Structure 1
Amino acid sequence: MYKKILFLFISVCSFAQEIMMKEIKSEHFLGKIQRVENFPSNYVKPRNVDVWLPENYSPEKKYSVLYMHDGQMLFDATTTWNKQEWQVDDVVTKLVAENKIEDVIVVGVWNIPTIRHLDLFPQKAFDLLPKQEKEKMIEQAKAINLDLTKINSDNYLKFIVEEVKPFVDKQFSTYSDAAHTAVMGSSMGGLISMYAICEYPEIFSKAACLSTHWIGLKDVENNPMPNAFFTYMQKKLPNPDTHKIYFDFGTETLDAFYVKYEDNVNQILAEKGFTEKNAKNLKFEGTDHSENSWQKRIHIPLEFMFGK
């Protein structure tokens, strides 16, 4: 019995040691970041998780929480692969100072490039494909060294909902209810944000999906994946009375492939009872598929989700 108790104590202590935060400050972003390196998980490969706090963060008040994908691209262009960033810290700080949005902290979940697509590809939408179409997609993916039989998005969402969120709510002064919890991402991050609010409407009441990658892999003739995503949305979009969802798209580079699905998205939102009050699908003419483009417009979904 003593050995079992000792083993349990050591296990708990070891886990606690793993969930250690490191404070990151830099002249390249406002506020500060509390980083958990290689956040341990029972569901996904460990990866960094950043919790951005505003400069005037105080445990004496409560904060809404925005969960964002591709966390390493959010705050500091000097460390990103393409030297671009969302500038989330600047935009949130400005909007709060102007009293346009409520107080927000941002949780940036880093991606792992080699498995990003598998983590963010909505599993249940893929499973809606007929067997022949699914096999065809799997073969197409092999050409770009991607194994779609290993889609892990359900576990990725469990990682956020069951492991990251409880940790954040315990460590920081947050509103833990769905009304104050949102999720946002771009491209594949847009798909997984849509998937998150559909799979966990009791956790997320708001989702922002920028440049949503409706084509799944690449734009090919008779691509079955967009319709699979739309069928999934028709079945699973949450109650519009208690949820908000934002979509957008540009018209250049990869975003050009999304334009033809504009009407499909609008139709589904209308059929599910969403109006301009709780849903948007905005077109940004002349903008491309990049952090620079998303940075210029993130104030719009931020105000839509957290506006006063």
Structure 2
Amino acid sequence: MRKLLFVLLSILCFKVHAQQNHKIEEKSIGGYKVSIYLPPNYDPSRKYKTLYFNDGQTVFGSSGLNVDASADELINKKLIEPLIIVGIHSDYNRTSHYVPYNDPSMIQDFGNYQPQAKEYSEDIIKKIIPFIEKRYSTSSGRGIAGYSFGGLHSTWIALNYPEYFSFSGSLSPSYWVQDFKIFEEGKKAKDTQTYYFDIGTGEWNYYVPMLLHTKLPILKSIFYYEIFGSHHQISDWRGDRIKNILLLFSGNTDLTKYMWDIQLEIIKSESTGKFYPRINPTIRYSNGLQCSISYAATFKLLNTEDGVVNKDGSFRFTNPKDLTVKITYDGQEKSITVNYNEVEKIKAGL
């Protein structure tokens, strides 16, 4: 009996170990602290894609973004290829390192800073990447990700150094800096790259136009996700949104296998108090990747005398009557009735 119990415990311990056998190594590279995730069963004879991540001190562990747990889960389910993740720690120079533009309006909330995104980016390229690629078994596939100011930077560096980064993932990026100047740089995106960015309606900023500024095909090379009720905080970024980044960077999404649905959103801007009523069609692919369809869909208002529906799904009433909208995506049609009284009731409660 004792022998049987010992065997069972040994099996259990082996299973737990097998699920937790990634490694996190801490290094100092060119004046930057970095935390490096090596996937389960890391094999130096195998080549791995590398995802660099801003604010590296918050990337791993359950109190942060928990990227290591998400990566382990997706690897174990064989939804992504094993990868290396490099968290580059931020310090008191965070705003200066991540923000590429001079925006005097930021000083009141964030203090004095000097736009040093170019210098920081070149440190990544000239110091951190060579160290990682000399010490670890990496392939040519590189990506970079971040949130907030770090998300602004992860978009900016990919746009300006496309030869170094084939992927950019941005969680609630601060695209608003200097009156959305990053939109003007969207045209630099290359068709060899993939971009992902998202925003929560609880922190609302209108980032949808970035989809058009890049000129990239939506839901093929650029992906946007609008999450109802989500706020600007780590607890809302971990989980599905981290998995979106990992799936797009290191997974193999079958874009022909999906389900899509329609969400009605009444968003109130925290900064302006204005309301943004939107029809937000969302898509979920067979591997779990979730995105908003947005401009990839077409919206047709059937009773045009009672309102307006724009190409991005935003709408307004011109009469106090319900709107009937037909939405078409990839040859499929769905309809939604937007109830005038319900919308007004929601607005009154916000």
Q: TM-score, normalised by structure 1?
A: 0.71
CA distance in 1, matches of 2:110, 2:87: 27
Runs of 4+ in 1 over 2 A off after TM superposition: 140-148
**Structure with greater proportional helix content:** 1
Cα shift at 1:206: 0.6
Look up the match of 2:111.
146
Indicate whether 1:261 and 2:207 are aligned.
yes
Indicate whether 1:119 and 2:97 are aligned.
yes
What do the CA deviations read for 1:84-134 (whole angstroms, capped 9, x no partner)?
Answer: 31111111111111111112010000000x221110002xxx2xxxxxxx6
Unaligned runs of 5+ in 2: 1-19, 253-350
Cα shift at 1:30: 5.5
- Please say which structure displays the higher CA radius of gyration: 2
Indicate whether 1:276 and 2:223 are aligned.
no
Which of 224, 246, 249 pairs up with 2:196? 246
8 Å Cα contact 1:69-1:189 kept in structure 2: yes
Cα shift at 1:261: 2.9
8 Å Cα contact 1:70-1:110 kept in structure 2: yes
SS of alignment partner, residue 261 of structure 1: coil
8 Å Cα contact 2:61-2:69 kept in structure 1: no
8 Å Cα contact 1:30-1:90 kept in structure 2: no
CA distance in 1, matches of 2:179, 2:25: 38
Indicate whether 1:206 and 2:167 are aligned.
yes
The aligned length equals 232
8 Å Cα contact 1:30-1:89 kept in structure 2: no
Structure 1 residues 60 and 282: CA distance shift in structure 2, 3 A: same
Specify the code of the residue in structure 1 equivalent to 2:24.
I
Within 5 A, what are the aligned runs for 1:1-308?
Answer: 31-37=22-28, 39-40=29-30, 46-77=31-62, 84-112=63-91, 114-122=92-100, 126=101, 137-138=103-104, 140-144=105-109, 146-148=111-113, 150-175=114-139, 177=140, 180-216=141-177, 224-226=178-180, 228-234=181-187, 236-237=188-189, 239-240=190-191, 242-252=192-202, 255-256=203-204, 258=205, 260-262=206-208, 264-269=209-214, 272-297=215-240, 298-308=242-252
Larger RCO (CA under 8 A, 6+ residues apart): 1
Specify the code of the residue in structure 2 equivalent to 1:248.
D
Cα shift at 1:251: 1.2
What do the CA deviations read for 1:15-63 (whole angstroms, capped 9, x no partner)?
Answer: xxxxxxxxxxxxxx762222113x32xxxxx231111112311112111
Specify the code of the residue in structure 1 equivalent to 2:108.
A
CA distance in 2, matches of 1:30, 1:69: 24
CA distance in 1, matches of 2:193, 2:42: 27
Unaligned runs of 5+ in 1: 1-28, 41-45, 78-83, 127-133, 217-223
**Structure with greater proportional strand content:** 2
